[in-house]
Amino acid sequence: MNNVVEASGLRVVRGKKEVLHGLDFSIRAGEVTGLLGPSGCGKTTLMRALVGVQAKVTGSLTVLGLPAGSAALRPRIGYVTQAASVYDDLTVAENLRFFTRVLGAPMSSVSEAIETVDLVDHKDQVVRDLSGGQRSRVGLAAALLGSPDLLVLDEPTVGLDPVLREQLWGTFRDLAAAGAAVIVSSHVMDEADRCDRLLLMRDGAFLADGSPAEIKQKASADDIEHAFLTLVRGTAR
Amino acid sequence: MSLRRTLAVAGRVLAQIRRDHRTLVMLVVLPTLLMTLLWWMYEESPVPIFDRIGPALLAIFPFIVMFLVTSVTTLRERSSGTLERLLAMPLGKGDFLLGYALAFGLLAAVQSGVAVGVSVGLLGLEISGSVALLVVVAIVDAVLGTALGLLVSAFATTEFQAVQFMPAIVVPQILLCGLLVPRESLPTVLEAISDVLPLSYAVDAMTHLVTSTDTGEVWTDLAVVAGFVVAGLALGSATLRRRTP
């Protein structure tokens, strides 16, 4: 399988503090990679580095064969931040049409993205009038426009109804099956089993890297939450 | 940079304003109402003060309004995360800034057209030069406000700060632009300062238009203001960073 992201010795400094301490990892096409760890462990910084919006990144980081942040990558990466990052005073469809124009993607991607995130009934509603979960789905829809090769999703399922969460994970799986590399961050360990591969993270370093089954086996734990605890105790010792 | 993306940004900004009816109404009628108030204040004055300061205010009002609207809108774009999303997309910084300048320039054209039309047509502002050129000068002044607003929004991290840039950046220019004291009567140091402030040239252009039919000096002043617009947009583009800490 081909690596969409390859990193070695990836370090990021924010302010005077180093927040990512020399990470080595790769992310493959056709897989959903989960980036799991507690709040503040560096998940967002890592994702921002992949997208190319993080300053003070050192080490080697390539995306689709190009240095992260290259202009040629911008149309090929879909990025969802924790803030919905859409215009509150425009309708769902107006937001997506605008981003589609910026991307230069076909206008048909607007209705496709709206269907994928299940907002067909709300497409002409102003984003300000939507619920929090619906707003974040607009942000997700914006990231799906133009079928990107790498999807970087920062906690996309927080605060969503379980039925919808299930549905969105289905969408992530479909996107991966269609050949995209999908990286999803979460601080909720129970989402771990939905991923093909996990990067468990704590304090800017990886605790484990492997499939959920491998990690559980390595830590001789029944679930990822316990595996995480075992691994943390293991490194502390 | 691409025309399609610039127009997309401009169209989106206009769509946002169109939905905000109160802002739209205020943008269009506020300068006109203020001009009317000014005319009324001096209605019984024996000396034609309205004719003396009216032109300066036709330059100043669109400048102030556009400065404020732009600095707050851009700050909102930064804080809501939409700017980060756009800069992670294939959008040139120039597309972003020119899109804004274009949208607000169009609004300024409407705003200034109404203000000039009412001032000249109804309030009897006497103009020796061309009315059309007066509108052009007013639009360029408004775009100057947009350019400076975009620039200062980079230095503001909160709305409170953004609004305070108005007394910091705009008021000194109003004091020194020749409205209160003719620029040549200012103390030497202040006159030198006023010589490097863009609003001085904006007001000079307006005053020339009103007092003389010779448009040579108007074009020179207009060129200076346009130079400040370009410099403001260029500096503003330098403050838009794709990579942030």
Q: DSSP string covering B32-70, please?
A: HHHHHHHHHHTTT-SS-HHHHHHHHHHHHHHHHHHHHHH
User: Which are the contacts of A143, defined by CB distance < 8 A and separation ≥ 6?
Assistant: A78, A79, A80, A151, A152, A153
pLDDT band at A156 (very low <50, low <70, confident <90, very high): confident
**Cross-chain Cβ contact A90/B16 below 8 Å:** yes
Cα pseudo-dihedral B113, B119, B124, B127, rounded to 10: -60
Which residues in chain A touch residue B88, judged by CB atoms under 8 angstroms apart?
51-53, 74, 77, 79
Q: Which residues of chain B have pLDDT under 50?
A: none
Identify from A56, A102, A110 which residue to disrupt to test chain B contact, counting B C-beta atoms within 10 A and taking the largest count: A102
Q: How confident is the model at residue A98 (pLDDT cuts 50, 70, 90)?
A: very high
Instruction: Catalogue the E-assigned strands of chain B.
Output: none
What pLDDT score does A233 carry? 84
Contact A51 B243 (CB under 8 A): no
CB–CB contact A94 B82 (8 Å):
no
d(CA B122, CA B42): 15
For B2, phi then psi, to 5°, come to -145, 145
Judged by a CB distance cut-off of 8 A, whether residue A125 touches chain B is no
For the stretch B122-163, pLDDT in tens is 998 888 888 888 888 888 988 899 889 988 888 888 888 888
Asked if the model's pLDDT at residue A17 lies above 60, the reply is yes
Beta bridge partners of A14: A17
Residue A133 binned pLDDT confidence (cut-offs 50, 70, 90):
confident
What distances in angstroms separate CA A72 from CA A51, A100, A191, B83, B153, one per listed residue?
A: 12, 17, 32, 19, 28
The residue-averaged pLDDT of A36-55 equals 92
B134 in Cβ contact with B209 (< 8 Å):
yes
Q: What is the pTM of this model?
A: 0.88
Contact A198, A218 (CB under 8 A): no
CA distance readout (Å), A83 to A62, A95, B15, B163: 26, 15, 22, 24
Q: Does residue A107 contact residue A100 with C-beta atoms inside 8 Å?
A: yes
Chain A nearest C-alpha distance from B83 (Å): 8
CA dist A153 and B71 (Å) reads 30
Structure-token pair, residue A231: 């691994």
DSSP secondary structure letter of residue B158: S
Confidence of residue A236 (pLDDT cuts 50, 70, 90): low
Q: What is the mean pLDDT of chain A?
A: 90
Nearest alpha carbon to residue B202 among B51, B34, B52, B58: B58
User: Could you give the strand order of the β-sheet that contains A197-202, starting from the edge strand earlier in sequence?
Assistant: A77-80, A150-154, A181-186, A32-36, A197-202, A205-210
Nearest Cα residue to B67 out of B179, B158, B160, B150: B150
pLDDT tens per residue across span B170-185: 999 999 998 888 899 9
The DSSP line for B199-219 is HHHHHHHHHHHHH-S--HHHH
